[in-house]
Structure formats: C-alpha cells, structure tokens
C-alpha cells in the first residue's frame, strides 16, 4: 500500500510541475504528444529507412497536415460559422413566418400584443446573442492563430518532436533503468496498460472524428443544407464528447433545414444523422477504438466540461487522455488497497 502512495505522489508532483510551468513546458509536452501519436507511422517507416530518415518523413507528414488545417480547413470553417452567425436572425424570422399558424393558435390563449412581443424579443435577442457568439468565434480563431504564430512554439515543438521520434527507444530504456528493480514489473505493466488505452483513444478517436467530420460535412452538403460543410465538420470533430457533440450538430442542422426549405430537407437531415450514428456505433468505434478505454459517457462529459472550465480549450482536448493516465494507477491503487490487511481487517482480533 505504501509503495502505491509513493508512486501516486510522484505522479501528482510531476503533474503539478507541468501545470506550474505550463507556459514554458507547452512546446515540450506538445512535442512528446505528437511523437507518441506518430509512433506507429515511425515504426512502419523504420522498416524501410533509417531512424533519422523515418523521423524526418513522419515529421514532414505532420507539418503538411497542420499546414492544410491552418490554411484550408480553419478559414473555411471560420467563414461558414461567421456566415451562420450573420444569417441566424434571418433564419429565425423565416422560421417564425413558416410557423404563423402556431402563432395564431397562441393568440387564442394569450394576448396578441404579448405574442408579438415574444416574437420581437426572440428576433432581437437572437441578434445580440449571435453577435456575441461571432465575437467569441473571431477571438477563438485569433487566439489560436496567435498561439501558433509564437516563435518558440513554431521552432521548439518540431525540434522536440523530432528529438522524441529519433530518441524514443533510448529514452524509454533510460527511464526503465531508473525504476527500482523491486517495482520494475509492476511499473512496466502499468505503463503498458496506459499505452494500450491511450493508443486506443488517441489514434482511434482521432480517426473516428476525422471520418465522421468527412461523412457529416459531405452528406449535409449533398442534401442541400446551407452551411452543411461547416456544421458537419464541427459535428464530426466534436464527436469525442458522447451525445453532446452530435446532438448539438443535429439541432443546428435541423433548425437550418426548417428555415431553409420544406420539411423534406429536415427529413434528410434526420436520415443523415441516423446513418452517422449507426456508422459510428457499429462500425467505426468498435473497429478503431473497441471497448478497452472503458470510460462511461457521463464521466467523459464531466471531465471534458471540467477540463474546459479549469484550463480552457486545451483542457477540453486533454481531459480524456489525462483521465486515462490517472485512471490506470488509481485502479491499481484501489486494487492494492482492497488486498491490504487494513481493508480486510486482519490486524483486528
């Protein structure tokens, strides 16, 4: 029991140190994460090329991916989101006009002036709210662009990623040599389990989100939904939050469909999301992630919201990996506690 408390203290101390030095440590931590994600590609390339060449090729693929995201994906999504913000009041007015029978029905139970006041309030408030959301979107993308443009991040992160890729095996060997021999097997097994779960989540979930973003973006565009590409892509990318991401995308798409055309478009939107849920639940998630991560949807939603509340955008991204990393030693600690004489009461007579 005592050894698990020591290891828990070490992990907590390292986590606190990273948090305290987050401004300085960010490029180093990001470089390690990127190297970890690129390890499967690095392993395959190493079978044909030297370690140095394989690392350069892997890093080149990563840079190309981020350039596409930075100069192609982000401007498209930003433009569509801002267009959505601008057109939302008009969409709401169109929705109110299409539902005039409902408004007339309400007038039978409420004063006509009160119903008109509700209608004007809804239109006016929507303009204010969407203006605030638009400012938030611009600020978010501007802050992200500012973060990317920081010279230290641009320079240090690729260097650290390359260093971790080329020196992964020596680093792991040196780290292993520092582990006390008495606890070597236990610690190695713990890190193997963490690696298995993180691999299943990081690589598998990234593929699931990218494929869903491609599916929803293309499908909603093909059925004729305005802003279908932007809404669909964001729906897929936020699919790592169970129910919340897809439900938000579905509601936005349904509102756009109801304001844009007849109810037939809304029916197509429903079909697109039903097929997407079947695709995610029965094909993509079982094959690319499996059931090994073992995090309940309620826990995932809680840690994502908590991470966003405490650490902002990066808290949202890193909440689930951090939960996985902390969860493995915590489960082992609980197992050791249940096996202890203190828990079993053997010390009592």
Tell me the pLDDT tens digit for each residue of 142-201: 544 444 444 556 677 888 888 888 888 888 888 888 787 887 888 888 888 888 888 778
- Token pair for residue 103? 């408004």
pTM, rounded to two decimals: 0.65
Rounded Cα distance between 284 and 277, Å, is 10
Contacts of 261 (CB under 8 A, 6+ apart): 224
Q: Which residue has the higher pLDDT, 172 or 288?
A: 172
Rounded Cα distance between 58 and 338, Å, is 45
Q: How many CB atoms lie within 10 A of CB 271?
A: 12
pLDDT of residue 144: 46
Our CA dihedral for 300, 302, 307, 310, rounded to 10 degrees, sits at 180
Rounded Cα distance between 322 and 315, Å, is 9
- Residue 18, pLDDT above cutoff 80: no
- Residue 301, pLDDT above cutoff 70: yes
- Token pair for residue 127? 């303009």
Instruction: Pick the closest to residue 237 from 133, 131, 137, 316 (CA basis).
Output: 316
Burial class from Cβ neighbours inside 10 Å (0-12, 13-18, 19+) for residue 46 reads middle
For the chain, give every domain's residue range. 182-338
pLDDT averaged over every residue in the chain:
75
pLDDT of residue 114: 57
pLDDT of residue 219: 92
Rounded Cα distance between 210 and 215, Å, is 9
Please state the rounded mean pLDDT for residues 204-209. Answer: 84
Q: Which residue has the higher pLDDT, 330 or 94?
A: 330
Q: Which of 50-59, 155-164, 299-308 has the highest mean pLDDT?
A: 50-59
Please state the rounded mean pLDDT for residues 266-272. Answer: 90
Q: Which residue has the higher pLDDT, 335 or 141?
A: 335
Rounded Cα distance between 285 and 208, Å, is 7
């Amino acid at each position: 029991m005592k050894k698990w408390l020591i290891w828990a203290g070490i992990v907590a101390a390292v986590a606190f140190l990273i948090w305290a030095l987050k401004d300085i440590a960010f490029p180093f931590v990001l470089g390690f994460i990127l190297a970890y994600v690129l390890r499967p590609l690095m392993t395959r390339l190493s079978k044909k090329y030297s370690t140095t060449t394989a690392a350069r090729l892997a890093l080149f693929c990563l840079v190309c991916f981020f350039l596409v995201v930075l100069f192609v994906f982000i401007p498209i999504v930003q433009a569509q989101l801002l267009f959505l913000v601008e057109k939302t009041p008009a969409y709401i007015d169109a929705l109110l006009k299409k539902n005039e029978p409902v408004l007339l029905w309400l007038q039978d139970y409420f004063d006509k002036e009160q119903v008109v006041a509700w209608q004007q309030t809804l239109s006016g408030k929507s303009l204010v709210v969407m203006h605030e959301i638009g400012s938030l979107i611009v600020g978010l993308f501007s802050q992200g662009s500012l973060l990317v443009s920081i010279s230290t991040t641009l320079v240090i992160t690729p260097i650290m990623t390359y260093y971790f890729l080329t020196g992964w095996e020596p680093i792991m060997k040196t780290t292993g040599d520092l582990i006390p021999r008495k606890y070597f097997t236990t610690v190695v097994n713990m890190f193997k389990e963490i690696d298995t779960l993180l691999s299943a989540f990081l690589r598998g979930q990234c593929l699931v989100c990218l494929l869903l973003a491609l599916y929803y973006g293309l499908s909603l565009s093909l059925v004729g939904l305005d802003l279908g590409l932007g809404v669909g892509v964001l729906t897929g990318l936020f699919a790592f939050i169970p129910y919340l991401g897809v439900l938000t995308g579905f509601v936005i798409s349904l509102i756009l469909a109801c304001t844009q055309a007849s109810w037939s478009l809304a029916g197509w939107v429903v079909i697109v999301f039903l097929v997407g849920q079947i695709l995610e639940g029965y094909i993509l998630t079982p094959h690319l992630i499996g059931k090994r991560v073992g995090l309940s949807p309620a826990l995932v939603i809680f840690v994502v919201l908590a991470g966003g509340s405490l650490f902002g955008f990066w808290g949202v991204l890193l909440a689930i990996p951090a939960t996985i990393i902390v969860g493995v030693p915590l489960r082992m600690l609980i197992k050791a506690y249940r096996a202890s004489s203190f828990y079993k009461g053997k010390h009592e007579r």
